[in-house]
Structure 1
Amino acid sequence: MDPTFFSQVETHLTPERLGAYRQDDVDNASALARYLLNMALCESLYSPLQFAEISLRNAMHTSLTARAGTDTWYNTLKLPHWQSNQVTDAKDHLNRAGKPLSSGRVVAELTFGFWVGFFTKPHMTSGLAYNIAKTAFTHAPKSERNVDSLRPKWQKVRDLRNRVFHHERVLHWQDLQTQHDKMLQLIGWMNPELEQLARMLDRFTVVRQEGLTPWLEKLHHNWPANQ
């Protein structure tokens, strides 16, 4: 690959960022190909991550509404301070934007971490976590409708989401395919039709199986070393 081209790319992406892809002293083309493959993998994970986040939010909202007897459950259920603060921030954001404080709008403002937080100790102590596990995942096997099963799975999804959305490296995850497959399964445990839709759109497995080859070919074809 043309060294001048790589030098300019490295300057703007920074040597530190590209350095994460050349820890085994590979050549410039291989390091950049790994970076591009990582981008492609992250891009392919956007759809299932979006389905996972939206379906979790809506399934929990339905469950919490039934539990509290109102769709503004966030005003009546006892929440830890950090979750209460998120609700307050969501309302403040809507007020500043001049939008009504409907339950749908407030719920949509809450972060993915807010929802995964319902599997933590305060909600286990109150029993709310166990109720959610049983009522929000109605299509899961009975043996999986429990906090001990769901909590680590959703924490993994949250960790993956954060890395993908912050443009970090996921290429090195040995269990990346497994995490992808489990995420699709989690979607199906809430809504089988959404899982079908997610699988129809899914490109992750193909991108991962193709590996570095197409990216190396593109780099060598477009910026050959002897140009």
Structure 2
Amino acid sequence: MERWLSVPRFSVYLAAADADRGRALALYEWNTQISAALLHDLAHVEVGLRNAYDRALSDRWPGPPHWTLAGDTVFAPVYRTRGRRRVDVNERPRDNLRQAIGNAGGPAARPGKVVAELMFGFWRYLSSAAHEKTLWVPALHRAFPRGTDRAAHVDGPVGRLHDLRNRVAHHEPLLTTDVAGRFADLLGLASRLEPRLGQHLQVTSNVSRLLTTRP
């Protein structure tokens, strides 16, 4: 088992299984199953989030050009003090957007293709406090129902789900992760984006079942 998993990786599961090698392998198998189940659910939420944000940004910056080609306007420089430095918090989104345009085929690419090329990390940081006045208030709050709190209902859950996605995408252990709490974040965000999405995940997700079968 160590030959394909590596000694350091398998040791995490051995420790959790009190050195029982059979139980440790069963625990590793469970970890891969629940990671796959979470990726299924996260895929729905990520696509739902980016499409909701695309609509909200398109309504605020109707163009032409599409907002993805107007990055210098949508993500105009906004400076914040970080320690002793002044930092443009929109520099990274502009860079992400330029890279996505290039990956999509250049400025002539369809907007939908550019949107699809943007990583979850791009969408995740659009709800941060640094973008509250420039993006949340004029545009992104419209992606959610009235009464949605930016920090509590969106930025907090999206940040935790982004961290979770990175862990499962890199096949990391979830043995000490509050998976039930992250699943609650996922369902809450999905239901705010689109109630039918939340209902769909309630029916199709395997996460709750797998939580009850942990070795």
The alignment's TM-score, normalised by the length of structure 2, stands at 0.84
Matched, 1:105 2:113: yes
Partner deviation per Cα, 1:95-130 (whole Å, 9 max, x = no partner): 28xx95111000000000100111224312x33123
Displacement, 1:49? 0.3
User: Quick one: distance in 1 between partners of 2:140 and 2:59?
Assistant: 13
User: Considering only CA atoms, is the larger Rg found in Structure 1 or Structure 2?
Assistant: 1
1:222 corresponds to which residue? none
Q: Which has the higher contact order (CA 8 A, sep 6+)?
A: 1
User: Quick one: distance in 1 between partners of 2:131 and 2:21?
Assistant: 50
Displacement, 1:46? 1.7
Matched, 1:82 2:85: no
> Which one-letter code corresponds to 2:158 in the other structure?
W
CA separation of 1:61 and 1:133: change in aligned 2, threshold 3 A: closer
1:200 corresponds to which residue? 203
Displacement, 1:132? 4.3
1:134 corresponds to which residue? 141
2:12 corresponds to which residue? 20
> Which one-letter code corresponds to 2:99 in the other structure?
D
Residue 30 of structure 1, aligned match among 23, 48, 55: 23
Number of residue pairs matched by the alignment: 197
Unaligned runs of 5+ residues in structure 1 are: 1-8, 213-227
CA separation of 1:149 and 1:186: change in aligned 2, threshold 3 A: closer
SS across alignment from 2:144: coil
User: Quick one: distance in 1 between partners of 2:37 and 2:184?
Assistant: 13
SS across alignment from 1:210: coil
Residue 152 of structure 1, aligned match among 130, 152, 156: 156
User: Quick one: distance in 2 between partners of 1:160 and 1:135?
Assistant: 26
> Which one-letter code corresponds to 1:72 in the other structure?
H
Task: Provide the identity percentage.
Answer: 27
User: Quick one: distance in 2 between partners of 1:111 and 1:93?
Assistant: 12
> Which one-letter code corresponds to 1:92 in the other structure?
G
Residue 104 of structure 2, aligned match among 94, 112, 118: 94
Unaligned runs of 5+ residues in structure 2 are: 77-89
